[in-house]
Amino acid sequence: MSDTMSRRRFLSRALIAGGAMAGAAASIPVIGYLLGPLIHPAPQAWRDVGAVSQFHIGETVSVTYQDPFTLPWSGQTAKTLAWLRRTGDESFTAFALNCTHLGCPVTWKQDAEHFFCPCHGGVFDAQGQVAGGPPQRPLWRHDVRVRKGRVQIATQALQIS
């Protein structure tokens, strides 16, 4: 009878050890996904979006740029846009295209002076702050600089959070 018990104990421990190893192996990709942005932050790339003179103070317009994080065969989808608002002689604010709720593209309505998300009714004011709907965070912003009379925005991979 002691032989039967030792076999059961061995198989029980082997099953527990196998389950623990399978659980550890399954958790490695999840841990890598969660820690990836901390270990390898998304690089920024500056993109030229036009001459300072083509933008008017107080006006928000869409600007198109080549996304540096696409694949060589992306074609037309490699182009993306941002919303650029000129706030002074050489000061600009750039907002990402995507709503912070679920990533749908927002549109700017000049007469209302608000951004609208068509997917779930999100509304953002001219400064990108939440004015209504389900979004909990303001629109993401791009860093903006002026170099030799040209406006440039810093792009990075889409933020999902």
Q: Using one digit for the tens of pLDDT, what is the confidence trace for 50-109?
A: 999 999 999 999 998 887 766 677 676 778 889 999 999 889 999 998 999 888 999 999
**What is the domain extent for residue 8?**
1-41
Q: What DSSP state is assigned to residue 104?
A: P
Query: Do 5 and 25 fall within a single domain?
Result: yes
What are the tokens at 103? 């990533």
User: For the chain, what percent of residues have pLDDT higher than 70?
Assistant: 84
The answer to whether residue 129 scores a pLDDT higher than 90 is yes
Query: Do 37 and 49 fall within a single domain?
Result: no
Give residue for tokens 């389950």.
Answer: 19
Query: Do 25 and 49 fall within a single domain?
Result: no
Query: Do 26 and 53 fall within a single domain?
Result: no
pLDDT the model gives residue 41: 63
Query: Do 28 and 91 fall within a single domain?
Result: no
Query: Do 55 and 30 fall within a single domain?
Result: no
Query: Do 92 and 35 fall within a single domain?
Result: no
Query: Do 61 and 37 fall within a single domain?
Result: no
The string of DSSP letters for 105-127 reads BPEEETTTTEEE-TTT--EEETT
Query: Do 19 and 82 fall within a single domain?
Result: no
Q: What total of structural domains would you count in the chain?
A: 2
**CATH number where 78 lies:** 2.102.10.10
Give residue for tokens 């779930």.
Answer: 120
